[in-house]
Structure formats: C-alpha cells, structure tokens
Amino acid sequence: MGEPLFVACLCAQWCSVCRQWRAPFDALVAQFPAASFLWVDVEDCAAVLGDYEPENFPVLAVQRGARLLYCATLPQQPAVWQRLIAELAALDAASAQQYATRLAQGGAALPDLRRVAAV
C-alpha cells in the first residue's frame, strides 16, 4: 500500500453546507487511523493554495505522498466519503500512480496538501 493517505476537506467558513459537514468529516478520522486528516478553509490558506479555486464545496482531496489521487466535490454522505477513502487506501503503488496520472491529465491544479498542513 505504501505511504499513508493525506485526506483534506476543502471548505469555506461562510459556507453553511461546509459548517454542517464538519462533524461528519471529523467522524471519518477514527475510521482511518493510518491517514492524516485536515480541514482546510480555502480563504485562510489562499496563499498556499495558489490559483486553485474550487467550483463548489465541500471538496474531498486525497493524496498519497506527493501524488494527488482524488480532488472533487462529493455529496455530504459519510458512507460515500468512507467508501472512496477506503478504496484509495487499498491501492497498491502502481494503481495509485495511475490514479494520480489520470487526475493530472484532467487538469487538477491543487498544490501538495502537505504544504497546506504546514500552515
């Protein structure tokens, strides 16, 4: 499986949907003890996020090492997020690389989330 996942929820404090989603997102942390989780207010982290601007909220971003595996909005349903995180956690290195390559080819422009965590 390789490096552990880094899971981020990109939101904005002014977004009521994001505020309602905070507790269910925090509950996912206990289900994936090997992963690192981070709640990211895009306005507070604008300098680190650079030109990245989500089209909608909340955005689930999942990274393994320097490779971004997933970055998109999802319905605010804990089971959906849990299933996707579990699927990504189970990927072997070659499959993770394929996910990252496809995402990069699709134009994903999110910077390394580990830099965001350092803020």
Which secondary structure element, helix H or strand E, spans residue 31, and what is its range? none
* pTM attached to this predicted model: 0.91
Residue 7 CB neighbours (<10 A): 25
User: What b/e sequence results for 51-77 when a residue is b if at least 16 CB atoms lie within 10 Å of its CB, and e otherwise?
Assistant: ebebeebbbbbbbbbebbbbbeeeeee
CB 11 within 8 A of CB 18: yes
Residues in contact with 14: Cβ distance below 8 Å, sequence separation at least 6, in sequence order = none
Closest CA to 35 of 79, 76, 91: 91
What's the number of CA atoms in the CB half-sphere (13 Å) around residue 19? 4
Helices 78-89 and 16-28: angle between axes, nearest 10 degrees: 50
How many domains does one find in the chain? 1
What's the CATH code of the domain at 90?
3.40.30.10
Quote the domain boundaries for residue 77.
5-117
Residue by residue, pLDDT tens for the chain (119 residues) are 578 999 999 999 999 999 999 999 999 999 999 999 999 999 999 888 888 888 899 999 999 998 999 999 988 899 999 999 999 999 999 999 998 999 888 876 788 888 887 76
